[in-house]
Amino acid sequence: MTSHRAEPIAVHAEALTRCFDDPHRDDTTVAVDQLTLSVHHGEVFGLLGHNGAGKTTTIRMLNGVLAPTRGKLRVLGYDPTEEGAILRRHTGVLTETPSLDEKLTAWENLTIYGRLYGVDELDLRARVGDLLEDFELDTRAREMVGAYSKGMKQRLALARALLHRPSLIFLDEPTGGLDPVATRQVHALITRLSRRGGHTFVLCTHNLLEAQRLCHRVAVMEHGRLVAVGEPATLARDLWQGVRLEIELDPGPLTGVPLPPEVRDLAWDEEGHVLSLWLPQRDDVPDLVAALVNAGRRIYQVAPQEPTLEDVYFALHEASLGEEGA
Amino acid sequence: MSDSGRPGRMIAINWRTLRTLASRDLKVVTRSKAMMLPMVIVPLIFVVALPAAVGLFAPQMAASGEMEDLASFLEMMPASMRESFAGYNEAQVIVVALLEHFFAPMFLIIPVMVASTIAAGSFAGEKERKTLEALLHTPTTDTELFLGKLLASWVPAFTVGLSAFVLYALVVNLSAWQVMGGLFFPNATWVTLVLWLAPAAAGVGLGTMILVSSKVNSFQDAYQLGSLVVLPVILLVFGQLAGVLYLNVLTVLAIGLFLWLVDAVILWFGIRTFKRSEIIARL
Least Cα distance to A50 among A237, A314, A234, A238 occurs for: A314
**Given pLDDT bands bounded at 50, 70 and 90, which one contains residue A319?**
confident
**Could you give the CA distance from residue B23 to residue B45 in angstroms, rounded to a whole number?**
27
List of residues 6+ apart from B110 with CB closer than 8 A: B42, B43, B46, B47, B160, B161, B164, B198
Give the mean model confidence (pLDDT) for residues B251-255.
93
* Domain boundary residue, one of A236, A256, A275: A236
Is B140 within 8 Å of A116 when comparing Cβ atoms?
Answer: yes
Q: What is the ipTM of this complex?
A: 0.81
Question: For B89-126, what is each residue's pLDDT tens digit?
Answer: 888 888 888 888 888 888 888 888 888 888 877 778 88
Q: Are residues A85 and A183 in the same domain?
A: yes
Least Cα distance to B127 among B222, B226, B21 occurs for: B222
Q: Are residues A22 and A61 in the same domain?
A: yes
Q: Are residues A226 and A185 in the same domain?
A: yes
Is the CB of residue B276 less than 8 Å away from at least one CB of chain A? yes
Angle at A320 (CA atoms; ends A325, A55), nearest 5 degrees: 130
* Residue from the list B16, B28, B137 with its beta carbon closest to the beta carbon of A65: B137
Question: For B155-191, what is each residue's pLDDT tens digit?
Answer: 989 999 999 999 999 999 999 999 999 998 898 999 9
pTM for this entry: 0.81
Q: Are residues A43 and A64 in the same domain?
A: yes
Asked, for residue A118, whether it belongs to a domain, the answer is no
Asked, for residue A178, whether it belongs to a domain, the answer is yes
Residues of B in contact with A20 (CB under 8 A): 281
Give the mean model confidence (pLDDT) for residues B130-159.
92
Find out whether A38 and A11 touch, Cβ atoms under 8 Å. yes
Work out the widest C-alpha separation in chain B, in whole angstroms. 68
Report which residue type is found at B236: L
Q: Are residues A71 and A14 in the same domain?
A: yes
The nearest alpha carbon in chain B to A22 belongs to B282
Strand partners, A226: A221
Asked, for residue A103, whether it belongs to a domain, the answer is no
The nearest alpha carbon in chain B to A63 belongs to B137
**Could you give the CA distance from residue B196 to residue B178 in angstroms, rounded to a whole number?**
31
Is the CB of residue B32 less than 8 Å away from at least one CB of chain A? yes
Residues of B in contact with A97 (CB under 8 A): 130, 133
Please tell me the predicted confidence (pLDDT) of residue B114.
87
Least Cα distance to A244 among A305, A183, A198 occurs for: A305
Report which residue type is found at A5: R
Q: How many H-runs (helices) and E-runs (strands) does chain B carry?
A: 18, 0
**Could you give the CA distance from residue B94 to residue A302 in angstroms, rounded to a whole number?**
103
Domain that residue A60 falls in: 9-90+166-236
Q: Are residues A288 and A227 in the same domain?
A: no
Find out whether A41 and A200 touch, Cβ atoms under 8 Å. yes
Is the CB of residue B277 less than 8 Å away from at least one CB of chain A? yes
Q: Residue B250: pLDDT above 60?
A: yes
Q: Residue A62: pLDDT above 70?
A: yes
Find out whether B77 and B97 touch, Cβ atoms under 8 Å. no
Residues of B in contact with A113 (CB under 8 A): 134, 138
Q: Residue A114: pLDDT above 50?
A: yes
**Given pLDDT bands bounded at 50, 70 and 90, which one contains residue B139?**
very high
**Could you give the CA distance from residue A54 to residue A221 in angstroms, rounded to a whole number?**
7
* Residue from the list B17, B28, B140 with its beta carbon closest to the beta carbon of A101: B28
Phi-psi region of A86 (alpha: psi -120 to 50; beta: other; left: phi over 0): alpha
Question: For B212-225, what is each residue's pLDDT tens digit?
Answer: 877 777 777 777 77
Instruction: Look at A145 and B228; give whichever has higher pLDDT.
Output: A145
Is B2 within 8 Å of A20 when comparing Cβ atoms?
Answer: no
- Is the preceding peptide bond at B7 cis, omega within 30 degrees of 0? no
CA distance B59 to chain A (A): 49
SS in 3 state form for A117-145?
Answer: CCCCHHHHHHHHHHHHHHCCCHHHCCCEH
Domain CATH number, residue A218: 3.40.50.300
Is A84 within 8 Å of B2 when comparing Cβ atoms?
Answer: yes
Look at residue B148 and give its three-state secondary structure: helix
Is the CB of residue B26 less than 8 Å away from at least one CB of chain A? no
How many CA atoms does the CB half-sphere of B24 hold within 13 Å? 29
DSSP letter (8 states) at residue B83: G
Strand partners, B142: none
Residues 19-58 of A with CB under 8 A from B: 20
**Could you give the CA distance from residue A299 to residue A314 in angstroms, rounded to a whole number?**
32
* Residue from the list B3, B132, B139 with its beta carbon closest to the beta carbon of A117: B139
Asked, for residue A135, whether it belongs to a domain, the answer is no
Asked, for residue A29, whether it belongs to a domain, the answer is yes
Give the mean model confidence (pLDDT) for residues A28-46.
94
Please tell me the predicted confidence (pLDDT) of residue B37.
87
Find out whether B283 and A95 touch, Cβ atoms under 8 Å. no
Is the CB of residue B20 less than 8 Å away from at least one CB of chain A? yes
Domain CATH number, residue A277: 3.30.70.100
* Residue from the list A82, A97, A100 with its beta carbon closest to the beta carbon of B2: A82
Q: Are residues A278 and A173 in the same domain?
A: no
**Could you give the CA distance from residue B49 to residue B175 in angstroms, rounded to a whole number?**
10
Q: Spell out the alpha helix ranges (H) of chain A.
A: 55-62, 80-87, 106-116, 121-134, 150-162, 180-196, 208-214, 232-239, 284-294, 309-325
Please tell me the predicted confidence (pLDDT) of residue B5.
38
**Given pLDDT bands bounded at 50, 70 and 90, which one contains residue A198?**
confident
Name the average pLDDT for chain A. 88
Report which residue type is found at A10: A
Antiparallel, parallel or unpaired: β A200-205 and A168-172: parallel
Q: Contacts for B13-19 with beta carbons within 8 Å, 24 or more apart? A: B13/B143, B13/B144, B13/B147, B14/A118, B14/B140, B14/B144, B16/A115, B17/A115, B17/A116, B17/B140, B17/B144, B17/B148, B18/B144, B18/B147, B18/B148, B18/B151, B19/B151
CA distance A113 to chain B (A): 8
Residues of B in contact with A65 (CB under 8 A): 136-137, 276-277, 280
Task: Give the full edge-to-edge strand order of the sheet including A299-305.
Answer: A264-268, A274-279, A243-249, A299-305
Find out whether B210 and B122 touch, Cβ atoms under 8 Å. yes
Q: Residue A2: pLDDT above 50?
A: no
Asked, for residue A140, whether it belongs to a domain, the answer is no
Is B1 within 8 Å of A64 when comparing Cβ atoms?
Answer: yes
Residues of B in contact with A118 (CB under 8 A): 14, 139
Is the CB of residue B83 less than 8 Å away from at least one CB of chain A? no
Strand partners, A203: A46, A171
Backbone phi, psi, residue A154, to 5°? -65, -40
Is the CB of residue A103 less than 8 Å away from at least one CB of chain B? yes
Find out whether A107 and A128 touch, Cβ atoms under 8 Å. yes
Q: How many CB pairs under 8 A join A and B?
A: 88
Find out whether B111 and B157 touch, Cβ atoms under 8 Å. yes
Each domain of chain B, given as residue ranges in start order, spans 14-281
Residues of B in contact with A100 (CB under 8 A): 131, 134
Residues of B in contact with A88 (CB under 8 A): 137-139
The nearest alpha carbon in chain B to A87 belongs to B139
Asked, for residue A261, whether it belongs to a domain, the answer is yes
Report which residue type is found at B200: A
**Could you give the CA distance from residue A231 to residue A46 in angstroms, rounded to a whole number?**
10
Q: Are residues A181 and A194 in the same domain?
A: yes
**Could you give the CA distance from residue A73 to residue A70 in angstroms, rounded to a whole number?**
10
Asked, for residue A111, whether it belongs to a domain, the answer is no
Q: Are residues A193 and A251 in the same domain?
A: no
Give the mean model confidence (pLDDT) for residues B146-163.
90
Look at residue B18 and give its three-state secondary structure: helix
List of residues 6+ apart from A325 with CB closer than 8 A: none
| Mutation for A interface: B14, B35, B128, B137, most A CBs within 10 A | B137
**Could you give the CA distance from residue B12 to residue B142 in angstroms, rounded to a whole number?**
11
Distances (CA, A) of A32 to A20, A246, B8: 10, 40, 32
Please tell me the predicted confidence (pLDDT) of residue A165.
93
Is A97 within 8 Å of B130 when comparing Cβ atoms?
Answer: yes
With 0-12 CB in 10 A as exposed, 13-18 as middle and 19+ as buried, what is B88? middle
* Residue from the list B31, B32, B139 with its beta carbon closest to the beta carbon of A88: B139
**Given pLDDT bands bounded at 50, 70 and 90, which one contains residue A17?**
very high
Least Cα distance to A223 among A316, A307, A294 occurs for: A316
Find out whether A169 and A202 touch, Cβ atoms under 8 Å. yes
Find out whether A114 and B170 touch, Cβ atoms under 8 Å. no
